[in-house]
Amino acid sequence: MTAMCRDCLVVAPGEHMPARCRVCGSPRLIRHPELLSLGIAHLDCDAFYASVEKRDNPSLADKPVIVGGGHRGVVSAACYIARTFGVRSAMPMFKARKACPQAVVIAPDMQKYAAAGRQIRAIMKDYTPLVEPLSLDEAFLDLNGTGRLHGQSPAATAATIVKRIEAEVGVTASIGLSYNKSLAKVASDLDKPRGFAVIGRAEAVDFLAGQPVSIIWGAGKALQKSLAKDGITTVAQLQAIEETRLIARYGAMGLRMAQFVRGEDPRRISADRPTKSISSETTFDHDIADGEALKKILWRQADRVARRIKSAELAGTTVTLKLRRADFRILTRSRRLPDPTQLAGTIYRHGAELLAKEIDGTAYRLLGVGLSGLIDGLEADPLNLAEPGAKRRADAERALDRVRDRFGTDAIGKGRGLK
């Protein structure tokens, strides 16, 4: 058995390490027989959006905070205090407000969260080039082979990364450490917040046997219902079924489940996992049928998408409009652009043309716009001699961006974006 202090990183035989670190006195000790031999980590920040808001407003530290919008929107993030009242991510806002009426509700600020996410990504890349992002605040890291470079075990490096994120970004994170991606992801959820959990090779199958099927990464509610209909609710039951039977019954997901329940995952960490799309959407407090009102909202969304795609140094080749009707039916309309773009004006213009075809008195409860077919930002918005006004509009938008970069997002904007 090996023990490591998460604060001062001292390592000692587990049986010789008391309840607190013998060097710094910290109670945050990790004990595991395979601690020094595991190198695949999953890092996940704790209630990320809510944590950023608490960082920026310390008066919220001991209050329940919900990040979300409107009466009919959904919860983007809930701090751990709010979670004690039953609030969860993706919960409808009206249910969240009912469960925790005293919560402080804050509208999402994606630009602020993206900036924090970039800081976190940069810290991770200081220790390994093999970082596979899953979201702004979540990533896999392959720390195998970094021991000689950093003079410490992968476990100590993972703890160092989390300490730096807390000190430099001002949010907390949890680590899962294992020998493959699936188990590292499972481990990161075992000890939140500020957790550090380990799943080793020797214990994996027995540990998994005692878990419900919901622990399987990718097993959503639909698959869980299908498994329940077949009388399967635990991983132990899946372990007793032959791989060929699982594949015959559940297809490709059957193979993934068969590998997972045996503690296997052949996937490597990919550092060049591409972003597929960037989008923004809004669920309205009341259904909207008026075209002009929808176009105002569309402009604000196009502006957010443009800011995010510029920050990512990408450009998009396809605009997609998303609408959800009052009966919850979803409509999507897409258009391939003549040239890749980063510009809010271009996104809005094509989105508005797609929207105009759907303005027929139908009331909508959600509107969104996005860019896909992403490529390098250097290819964005080439000079178009056939449209002399295009360069002037692009220059004006980038001038607005410079003012916002210096004085904040709300410092300047176009009239059509006013609420």
pLDDT single digits (tens) 96-113: 999 999 999 999 888 889
What is residue 6's predicted lDDT score, i.e. its pLDDT? 93
Neighbours of 320 (CB within 10 A): 20
Pick the residue with more confidence: 165 or 11?
165
Exposure string for 94-133, b = 16+ CB within 10 A, e = fewer: eebbebbeebbbbebebeebeebbebbeebbeebbebbbb
How large is the average pLDDT for residues 18-38?
A: 91
Read off the pTM: 0.71
Given CA atoms 231, 234, 236, 240 in this order, what sign does their dihedral have? positive
Cβ atoms of 365 and 305 closer than 8 Å: no
Q: Give the whole-number percent of the chain exceeding pLDDT 70.
A: 89
φ and ψ at residue 57, rounded to 5 degrees = -140, 85
Q: Are strands 196-198 and 173-178 parallel, antiparallel or unpaired?
A: parallel
pLDDT band at 173 (very low <50, low <70, confident <90, very high): very high
Catalytic residues: 138
- Run of H or E residues at 408: none
The three-state secondary structure class of 203 is: coil
How does pLDDT run across 297-312, given as a tens digit for each residue?
Answer: 999 999 999 988 888 8
Q: Where are the alpha helices (DSSP H) in 262-388?
A: 291-311, 344-356
pLDDT band at 272 (very low <50, low <70, confident <90, very high): low
What is residue 22's predicted lDDT score, i.e. its pLDDT? 87
How does pLDDT run across 273-285, given as a tens digit for each residue?
Answer: 667 889 999 888 8
Indicate whether 183 pLDDT > 90: yes
Cβ atoms of 75 and 91 closer than 8 Å: yes
- Run of H or E residues at 162: helix 154-168
Indicate whether 211 pLDDT > 60: yes
DSSP conformation letters of 360-399:
SS--EEEEEEEEES-EEGGGSS---TT-THHHHHHHHHHH
Least confident of 33-37, 88-92, 169-173, 401-405: 401-405
Reading the block at residue 313, the tokens are: 């140094």
What is residue 274's predicted lDDT score, i.e. its pLDDT? 65
Reading the block at residue 146, the tokens are: 């970094």
Euclidean distance between CA atoms 20 and 407, whole angstroms = 47
What is residue 250's predicted lDDT score, i.e. its pLDDT? 84
Angle at 24 between CA 18 and CA 28, to 5 degrees: 60
How large is the average pLDDT for residues 196-214?
A: 95
Euclidean distance between CA atoms 282 and 304, whole angstroms = 12
What is residue 36's predicted lDDT score, i.e. its pLDDT? 92
Phi-psi map region of 313: left, alpha, beta (phi>0 left; psi -120 to 50 alpha): left
Omega within 30 of 0 (cis) for the link into 193? yes
- Which of 28, 71, 76, 72 minimizes the C-alpha distance to 52? 76
pLDDT band at 404 (very low <50, low <70, confident <90, very high): low
Domains and CATH numbers, the chain: 1-27 (no CATH), 34-202 (3.30.70.270), 209-261 (1.10.150.20), 277-417 (3.30.1490.100)
Pick the residue with more confidence: 69 or 60?
60
Pick the residue with more confidence: 352 or 380?
352
How large is the average pLDDT for residues 342-346?
A: 92
Reading the block at residue 85, the tokens are: 């009242």
Cβ atoms of 113 and 48 closer than 8 Å: yes
What is residue 411's predicted lDDT score, i.e. its pLDDT? 46
- Run of H or E residues at 77: strand 75-78
What is residue 16's predicted lDDT score, i.e. its pLDDT? 67
What is residue 223's predicted lDDT score, i.e. its pLDDT? 85
Mean pLDDT estimate for the chain: 88
What is residue 72's predicted lDDT score, i.e. its pLDDT? 67
- Run of H or E residues at 225: helix 221-229
Reading the block at residue 288, the tokens are: 């909207």
Euclidean distance between CA atoms 293 and 350, whole angstroms = 17
Pick the residue with more confidence: 334 or 405?
334
Q: Which residues pair with 252 in a beta bridge?
A: none
Given CA atoms 69, 71, 74, 77 in this order, what sign does their dihedral have? positive
User: Could you tell me where the beta strands, DSSP code E, fall in 190-292?
Assistant: 196-198, 277-288
Contacts of residue 335, defined as CB under 8 A and 6 or more positions apart, other chains included, come to 318, 319, 350, 353, 354
Place of tokens 């709300």: 410
Phi-psi map region of 328: left, alpha, beta (phi>0 left; psi -120 to 50 alpha): left
